[in-house]
Amino acid sequence: MKKAIGRFLAGRLQTKKYMNKKKIDSLENAEDMKKDLLILGIETSCDETAAAVVCGGRTVLSNVIYSQIDLHTLYGGVVPEIASRKHIEKIDQVIEQALKEADKKLEEIDAIAVTYGPGLVGALLVGVSAAKAISYAAKIPLVGVHHIEGHISANFIENPDLEPPFLCLVVSGGHSHLVFVKAYGEYEILGRTRDDAAGEAYDKVARAIGLGYPGGPKIDKIAKEGNPEAIHFPRAKVENSNFDFSFSGLKSSVLNYLNGMKMKEEPVHIPDVAASFQKAVVDVLVDHSMAALKEYHINKFAIAGGVASNSAIREAFVQACKKSEIEFYYPSPVYCTDNAAMIAVAGYYDFKKGMTSGLDLNAVANLKLGER
Ligand code: KG4
Ligand code: ZN
């Protein structure tokens, strides 16, 4: 890889001058914007080492994901130190493969978009360092991307007609946010979780009922054999907020139920627990999202993040949106969980606005949406 990058760079340095800031600012009207910009996306915020090449902000030419799930399954969850080490081992290979599958050379890339937060700081640093090294050596502009902005942007990939404004529910292992997407790159958070993220609740409940890590897809599958009305788990309301979420009470309620059954020496029907837990999550997500759509008079709704690949959640939103005449958008499962194509898409819209990052770009573990 090092040799290959060296070769790319030698050619590029001779043929292409570094785009200065002024030129980037005027890109909107420039000749350059007429061609379809090629963005190399890089994502390493958690346990996926990913790189992708996206053309014109919406066409994915390659989307390479090296998942570390098997490694972390041994420990029942993501081990940050192991994640960082694995990213270091894989990052060059994954980037090279993304370029190869897209049939593009580094010198053809217009900008490098990289996730710089939020996430595991050591893991983020690997992607940010790789992106900065290539940006510096090959003189390709760098664009730091917020991970949630990436998840939201995953919806643009397969829905060419989707344009802001719309409401997006981002539900992943680290986040549960209701975001009003006012324009490209312009967000207002209407609601967020006060404690656990939805995916975190799935993972914790799955562990408690012996399904292992990652819990979301396992609960999704086994819940299909269970009765969602079998056990009533609470639907939490958060004080002083119609749109905030709270999932830790639900998780505790499932644990209490399991302990109670154990004390009584009664058998637990795992599919019923999974289906009833899932129903409680779905009800709250649908309820809050529909209320926000109504209050803000928004008629387009999208979901994003790993949990958005859940079949019960998708089905519930299909029905609810149909009933309320809301246009509903959702990404394919591969674009719901962490990937670099979504980062390239978000980076494309930032880059088009002339927003680039300097080589002082750093990993920010708790980066807030809208902060730069
Ligand atoms: O977006 P993502 O890949 O990473 C973060 O940014 O956190 O989301 C991972 C989360 C995990 O908690 C996983 O259990 C959950 O998404 N997940 C699911 C499903 N597939 C993944 N949760 C519910 N149902 C699924 N089918
Ligand atoms: Zn994510």
Per residue in 148-182, pLDDT tens?
Answer: 999 999 999 999 999 999 999 999 999 999 999 99
**Averaged pLDDT for residues 262-277:** 98
Whether the per-residue pLDDT at 66 is higher than 50: the answer is yes
- Average per-residue pLDDT in the chain? 91
What's the pLDDT band for 240 if we cut at 50, 70, 90? confident
pTM for this model (two decimals): 0.90
Question: Kind of pairing, strands 142-146 and 111-117?
Answer: parallel
Fold of the CATH domain 2-154+337-352: Nucleotidyltransferase; domain 5 (3.30.420)
Q: Any residues with CB less than 8 A from the CB of 122 and at least 6 apart, and which?
A: 80, 81, 83, 84
Taking the C-alpha atoms of residue 237 and residue 283, their distance in angstroms, rounded to an integer, is 12
Whether the per-residue pLDDT at 42 is higher than 80: the answer is yes
The CA-atom distances, in angstroms, between 193 and each of 35, 169, 171, 190, 237 are: 41, 12, 10, 11, 11
Share of the chain above pLDDT 90, in %: 84
pLDDT (tens digit, 9 = 90+) per residue, 203-233? 999 999 999 888 999 999 999 999 999 999 9
- CB atoms < 10 A from the CB of 319, how many? 12
Closest CA to 141 of 12, 271, 2, 230: 12
pLDDT for res 20 = 34
Prior bond to 160 cis, omega within 30? no
Fold of the CATH domain 163-330: Nucleotidyltransferase; domain 5 (3.30.420)
Q: Any residues with CB less than 8 A from the CB of 103 and at least 6 apart, and which?
A: 61
Whether the per-residue pLDDT at 2 is higher than 60: the answer is no
Share of the chain above pLDDT 70, in %: 90
Closest CA to 120 of 66, 174, 68: 174
Q: How far is the CA of 184 from the centre of ligand 1 (A)?
A: 25
pLDDT (tens digit, 9 = 90+) per residue, 316-361? 999 999 999 999 999 999 999 999 999 999 999 999 999 999 999 9
Q: Any residues with CB less than 8 A from the CB of 356 and at least 6 apart, and which?
A: 21, 24, 111, 141, 142, 143, 350
Is ligand 1 within 6 A of the CB of residue 278? no
Contact 299, 293 (CB under 8 A): yes
What are the tokens at 16?
């292409």
pLDDT for res 4 = 43
Contact 142, 112 (CB under 8 A): yes
Domain with CATH 3.30.420.40 in the chain: 2-154+337-352, 163-330
Whether the per-residue pLDDT at 25 is higher than 50: the answer is no
Whether the per-residue pLDDT at 46 is higher than 50: the answer is yes
The CA-atom distances, in angstroms, between 113 and each of 252, 286, 346 are: 39, 32, 8
- Output the CA angle 279-284-286, nearest 5 degrees: 90
**Averaged pLDDT for residues 74-84:** 91
**Averaged pLDDT for residues 93-118:** 98
Is ligand 1 within 6 A of the CB of residue 220? yes
pLDDT for res 18 = 30
Give the nearest ligand 1 atom to 119 CA.
6
Q: How far is the CA of 112 from the centre of ligand 1 (A)?
A: 26
pLDDT for res 370 = 77
| Closest residue CA from atom 8 of ligand 1 | 306
- CB atoms < 10 A from the CB of 266, how many? 9
